[in-house]
Amino acid sequence: MRPDPNSADSLAALAAVIASRLPAHGGNPEASYVARLLHKGPDAFLKKIGEEATEVVMAAKDADHGGDKTKIVCEVADLWFHSMIALAHYGLSPADVIAELVRREGTSGLEEKAMRKLKGREVQASGSAS
C-alpha cells in the first residue's frame, strides 16, 4: 500500500531511502544521485539547497506575474528533497522538523523570532565570557 502523499509517512519513506544511500550504509555514488551528493560532502548538497531555494523564489516571482503556480510546487519539492539529504547527513529526519513545528504551534511567529534572537545573544555572551 502506498503512503498517503499528504502524510508524514511519505516523508519518512523518502527519508529511509535517502538514509540507505549514506556512505555508512553502503550508498554507491556510481549508482545513485543521492549517494553521489553525500559522498561529495556537505559543500555539494548545501550548494544544491541554495540553488533550489533560489529556484523557489524565482518560480514564486514568475507566478506573481502570471506564470505557472505549479512550478512553485516542483521547486519546493526539490528544495525539500535536498534538505532531506542534509538532514540525513547530520543524523536528523523529517520527524525532527515536524516535532519542531509542533513545538512552535500556538506561538506567535514574531515571538518565536524574538526568542531565537535572544537565545543567540545569550550564547554569544556566554562564549565571550569564557
Summarize pLDDT for 90-127 with one digit per residue, the tens. 999 999 999 999 988 887 778 777 877 888 888 888 87
Q: What is the dihedral of CA 60, 8, 89, 21, to 10 degrees?
A: -100
d(CA 14, CA 5): 11
> pLDDT for 76-87, tens place per residue?
999 999 999 999
Average model confidence (pLDDT) for the chain? 91
d(CA 14, CA 96): 14
Q: Among 73, 95, 72, 70, which Cα is nearest to 84's?
A: 95
pTM, entire model: 0.80
Rg over alpha carbons for the chain, rounded to the nearest Å, is 18
Contact (CB, 8 A) for 105 and 99: no
